[in-house]
Amino acid sequence: MNRYLMTPGPVPVSTEVSRSQAKPLIGHRGGEFSSMFLSIEDKLARLLKSGGRTVLFPASGTGALEALAANFTGPDVKVLSVSCGVFGDRFREITALYGADIVNVDAALGEGVTPEMVAEAVERNPDCGVLFLTQNETSTGVLNPIDRIIAAIPKEKRPLILVDGVSSVGAMPCFPEEWGIDGLATASQKGLLTPPGLGLVWLSERGWKTVKERKCQSYYFDLERQRKVLDKDAPENPYTPPVSLYYALDEALDEILIDGWFDLRRRAARSLAAGIESLGFSLLVKDKNFRSPGVTAFSLPSGDIPAVSKALKAFGVEPAGGQADLKGKIIRMSHYHDVRWPEISLALGSLYAALGSNRAGCGDFMKEAFEAWEGE
Ligand SMILES: *Cc1c(COP(=O)(O)O)cnc(C)c1O
- Burial (CB count <10 Å: 0-12, 13-18, 19+), residue 331: buried
- Ligand 1, closest atom to CA 167? 15
Mutate to test the pocket of ligand 1, among 11, 136, 138, 166 (most ligand atoms within 8 A of CB): 166
Percent of the chain predicted with pLDDT > 70: 100
- How large is the average pLDDT for residues 45-69? 96
pLDDT given at position 36: 95
Q: pLDDT band at residue 37, thresholds of 50, 70 and 90?
A: very high
pLDDT (tens digit, 9 = 90+) per residue, 124-179?
999 999 999 999 999 999 999 999 999 999 999 999 999 999 999 999 999 999 99
Q: pLDDT band at residue 30, thresholds of 50, 70 and 90?
A: confident
Angle of helix 61-72 relative to helix 86-97, nearest 10 degrees, comes to 40
pLDDT given at position 16: 98
pLDDT > 90? residue 335: yes
Nearest alpha-carbon partner for 87 in 149, 147, 136: 136
pLDDT given at position 368: 98
pLDDT (tens digit, 9 = 90+) per residue, 361-371?
899 999 999 99
- How large is the average pLDDT for residues 328-357? 97
Percent of the chain predicted with pLDDT > 90: 96
Among 3.40.640.10, 3.40.50.2000, 3.90.550.10, 3.90.79.10, what is the CATH number of 15-256?
3.40.640.10
The per-residue pLDDT of the chain, averaged, comes to: 97
- How large is the average pLDDT for residues 204-226? 96
pLDDT given at position 291: 98
pLDDT given at position 160: 98
Nearest alpha-carbon partner for 65 in 181, 198, 163: 163
pLDDT given at position 370: 98
Q: What is the CATH number of domain 260-374?
A: 3.90.1150.10
pLDDT > 80? residue 376: no
pLDDT given at position 303: 87
Q: What number of other Cβ atoms are within 10 A of residue 103's Cβ?
A: 16
Query: How far is the centre of ligand 1, averaged over its atoms, from the C-alpha of 193 (Å)?
Result: 14
Report the sign of the C-alpha dihedral through residues 351, 353, 359, 363, in that order: positive
- How large is the average pLDDT for residues 65-87? 97
**Virtual CA dihedral for 330, 332, 318, 248, nearest 10 degrees?**
-160
Query: How far is the centre of ligand 1, averaged over its atoms, from the C-alpha of 249 (Å)?
Result: 17
Would you kindly state where each structural domain of the chain is located, as residue ranges?
15-256, 260-374
Angle of helix 261-278 relative to helix 341-354, nearest 10 degrees, comes to 20
pLDDT given at position 52: 86
Q: Using CA positions, which residue lies closest to atom 5 of ligand 1?
A: 61
Q: Please give all residues whose beta carbon lies within 6 A of any atom in ligand 1, as ranges.
A: 9, 60-62, 87, 134, 136, 138, 164, 166-167, 187
pLDDT > 80? residue 220: yes
| Distance set, CA 208 to CA 60, 201, 211 (Å) | 22, 11, 5
Could you report how far apart the first and last alpha carbons of the chain are, in Å? 36
pLDDT given at position 39: 96
pLDDT given at position 51: 85
Query: How far is the centre of ligand 1, averaged over its atoms, from the C-alpha of 106 (Å)?
Result: 18
Going by their DSSP bridges, the two strands 317-318 and 4-5 should be labelled as parallel
Query: How far is the centre of ligand 1, averaged over its atoms, from the C-alpha of 271 (Å)?
Result: 25
pLDDT (tens digit, 9 = 90+) per residue, 245-290?
999 999 999 999 999 999 999 999 999 999 999 999 999 999 999 9
Angle of helix 223-230 relative to helix 61-72, nearest 10 degrees, comes to 100
